[in-house]
Amino acid sequence: MQELNTLIASLEQALLSLDRLKAQEVLQSALTGQVEPLIVATLEKIGEGWETGDVALSQIYMSGRICEDLLNTILEPNNEAIAEQPKMAIAELHDYHLLGKRIVYSIMRASGFDLLDYGQKEVDELVELVQKNEIKILLISTLMLPSALKVKEVRAKLELRGLDVKIVVGGAPFRFDEQLYKDVDADAMGKSASDAIKIVKTMIEEQK
Amino acid sequence: MTENTMTSMQRVLTTLGHQEPDRVPLFLLLTMHGAQELGISIKDYFSNPEHVAEGQMRLLEKYRHDCIYSFFYAPIEVEAFGADVLYVEDGPPNSSLPLIRKHDDIKRLKPPNAKESPCLIKVYEATRMIKSKVENEVPIIGVVMSPFSLPVMQMGFDKYIDLLYEQPDLFQQLMAVNEDFCVQWANAQLEAGATAICYFDPVSSPTIIPREMYLKTGFEVAKRTISQIKGPTATHMASGFTLSILDDVAQTGTAVIGSSTQEDLSALKAASQGKLTILGNLNGIEMRRWTEDQAEAAVREAIAKAGPGGGFILSDNHGEIPWQVPENVLAAISNAVRKWGQYPLDWIEDYGK
């Protein structure tokens, strides 16, 4: 355990200072089966730093990008992906501010989750895709309040089609009003990208 | 309730001088609500400067607050650069596809002529119309996006962060273009009658980039740009944190800092004492569902924390109040400032006991 904590501290330091080589070294020194928990714990720690104001969004974005790149291109293909995942997707709803979605996508992928990236979608297009791909967990990112309020339409249209989908929302409007996710009939709200990992893990456990 | 003895302009100037005016000034940073007043769509509203001038005057009369906000919408600047703007029915217009698709596009980017840009001309016209009505009694707050934050709309946030970390030369080229444009645009608004310019710079917030990077980038850009703007400026980080860079921001030459609702207003006030006036920090997102009592409680708390000694303007925390915030909440905020914001703030001694 002590060793994992040391690795987490080293990886955190490497990521926050954008030291890709050091991050690669730390990941390569991890034992088989340790890579995914190491990345998840480190990105969670960095995410907590954002919530307290100690870490900047640009550092979270670059950390996610580095981890994703290392897993995809430098290390062996990630064979530690979490088994038996429900079908998941992520989308930016209505507005065009894609950074939040991209960060969550990178961090989820770097943490071993497999999910579809729908890009920017309007309500009807999104509902159509969710049905077609039989999505069970849908992550929705928004920056603008009007977009956040449209999650309620997504929920209503999914229900009309009889689709049982867990909706996880994130983005500035939800961070500034912690009641908003309930008002729009989402199941959960993540304050940071690493929150998404915790929430999705819990949902997967509950669905077993 | 004491009768006010100062004009809005006197009230604001007094608090900017870190003295107590007759009462705490209130800036309701309303844009789209003008369209509600006129009963027209947001798109129609911003298509005609007469609408905006009329809307702002009606909002001033209705809520008796202390500024005119001549801000139209954030993507007006990328519109001047040639981008499309997308209107929605219930919120501010968004910028469409980025102008800069790949980093090399920066090499061909030229600043538009701010004085001749059709979309910006509407802002100058609205400002002139308003100025002829309010004269020097009410400050008119114009808006620019900082050269450092504009690229989020010019190229998308992710590509901009990549540029910041990986392409320092191209970043400097982009800043040169944006600084040229920003200075022209700010000074044209001042010439049209704006009293001050709100310099929106969310990317400089430690919420978005670490302080070490800010000092090398957004801080230097702000110093160069603000020094060329021929009027007072207020810096706003649109809900981002500011506490850890307050001293740095003060050195950029700005007089006011917008504050996040997620930071402690008492700490911000203490840290900015005598250096910067605090603008903020009512939660604009929660505001849409506040009761009138909640609005009053929020106003009272903000005044208790930041009102004493002046150097404080009550406002929302983002720099634009959402379309969804209802009239009764805005009226309750205005009434609460009159009830709790009269100086001297004697009631504060017993507040919270």
Task: Count interface pairs A-B at CB distance under 8 A.
Answer: 81
Q: Please judge whether B165 and A146 are an interchain contact, meaning their C-beta atoms are less than 8 angstroms apart.
A: no
pLDDT, tens digit (0-9, with 9 covering 90-100), for B288-344: 999 999 999 999 999 999 999 999 999 999 999 999 999 999 999 999 999 999 999
A181-192 mean pLDDT: 96
**Packing angle between helix B118-134 and helix B168-192, nearest 10 degrees?**
40
In a domain, B2, yes or no: no
Residue B137 lies in a domain: yes
Q: Mapping DSSP to helix (H, G, I), strand (E, B) and coil, where does residue A120 land? A: strand
* Segment A153-182 mean pLDDT: 96
Does residue B111 lie within any of the structural domains? Answer: yes
For residue A32, the distance in angstroms to the closest alpha carbon of chain B comes to: 31
Decide if pLDDT at B231 tops 90: yes
**pLDDT reported for residue A76:** 54
Higher pLDDT, A28 or B155: B155
Q: Which of B273, B271, B276, B268 is nearest to B252 (CA)?
A: B276
**Measured between beta carbons, which residues in chain B are less than 8 angstroms from residue A176?**
239, 261-262, 283-286
ipTM of the complex: 0.93
Q: Is residue B336 one of the residues assigned to a domain?
A: yes
Q: Give me the residue from B91, B157, B283 closest to A97, CB to CB.
A: B157
Per-residue pLDDT, B3: 55
Q: DSSP label at A191?
A: S
Q: Is A5 exposed, middle or buried (0-12, 13-18, 19+ CB in 10 A)?
A: exposed
With contacts defined as CB-CB under 8 Å, which chain B residues touch A53? Answer: 206-207, 241, 243-244, 263
CA–CA separation, B278 and B255 (whole Å): 9
B23 neighbors B341 (Cβ within 8 angstroms): yes
Residue B289 touches partner A, C-beta closer than 8 Å: yes
For the segment A160-170, the average pLDDT, to the nearest whole number, is 97
In tens, the pLDDT along B245-287 reads 999 999 999 999 999 999 999 999 999 999 999 999 999 999 9
Q: Give the domains, in start order, of chain A with CATH numbers.
A: 2-74 (1.10.1240.10), 88-207 (3.40.50.280)
Domain that holds residue B345: 8-350
Domain count, chain B: 1
Q: Could you tell me the CATH number of the domain that includes residue B188?
A: 3.20.20.210
| Mean pLDDT value across chain A | 90
Inside any domain, residue B244: yes
> Does B157 reside within a domain?
yes
Q: Sort out which chain A residues have CB atoms less than 8 A from B35's CB and list them.
A: none
Q: Is residue B3 part of a domain?
A: no
**Alpha carbon distance B75, B95 (integer Å):** 5
Packing angle, helices B157-166 and A57-69, rounded to 10 = 80
- CA max distance for chain B: 62
| A1: pLDDT strictly greater than 80 | no
Residue B1 lies in a domain: no
